[in-house]
């Protein structure tokens, strides 16, 4: 791999040939930490690398453990969410049916010349479940 370093100003540039082992190590670091190759080379040239005190590996292990725990919980609660969705859809259908029956009841009361009863608490529930 050929590395070309150009200054921000001026015409001078430096060309360096990197061996395959170093290039593979740079690519490995880039993939491992999710950093572009250019940034890895820049950090190496400016000396920005810091030696880890071993806590980075411990933190990565802890993150993997937490991810596994999250996935286990996700699998456990996925079926419950699906059932809850089914129940909410059933409630919506029942609210629509109840609304129709209330309307039919009030029409029959009018036809029989009976007093029409208004029940706002029931209509409030129906409108809640129809949302």
Name the strand (E) or helix (H) holding 4: strand 2-5
109 shares its domain with 126: yes
Number of folded domains in the chain? 2
20 shares its domain with 60: no
31 shares its domain with 59: no
pTM of the complete model: 0.46
H helices then E strands: how many in the chain?
A: 4, 2
Q: What is the pLDDT of residues 49-68, one digit of tens each?
A: 666 667 778 888 999 999 99
Give the rounded percent of residues in the chain with a pLDDT score beyond 90.
41
Return the bridge partners of 2, or none.
Answer: 17
Residue 96 binned pLDDT confidence (cut-offs 50, 70, 90): very high
Please give the pLDDT value at position 51: 67
Tell me which residue range forms the domain holding 82: 55-130
106 shares its domain with 63: yes
63 shares its domain with 101: yes
30 shares its domain with 72: no
19 shares its domain with 82: no
């Amino acid at each position: 791999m050929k590395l070309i370093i150009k200054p921000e100003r001026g015409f001078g540039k430096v060309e360096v040939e990197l061996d395959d082992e170093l290039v593979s190590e740079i690519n490995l670091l880039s993939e491992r930490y999710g950093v572009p190759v250019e940034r890895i080379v820049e950090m190496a040239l400016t000396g920005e690398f810091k030696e880890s005190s071993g806590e980075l590996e411990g933190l990565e292990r802890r993150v993997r453990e937490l991810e596994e725990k999250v996935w286990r919980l996700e699998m456990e609660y996925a079926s419950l969410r699906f059932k809850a969705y089914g129940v909410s859809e059933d409630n919506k259908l029942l609210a629509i049916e109840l609304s129709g029956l209330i309307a039919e009841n009030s029409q029959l009361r009018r036809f029989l010349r009976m007093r029409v009863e208004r029940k706002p608490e029931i209509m409030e529930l129906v409108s809640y479940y129809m949302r």
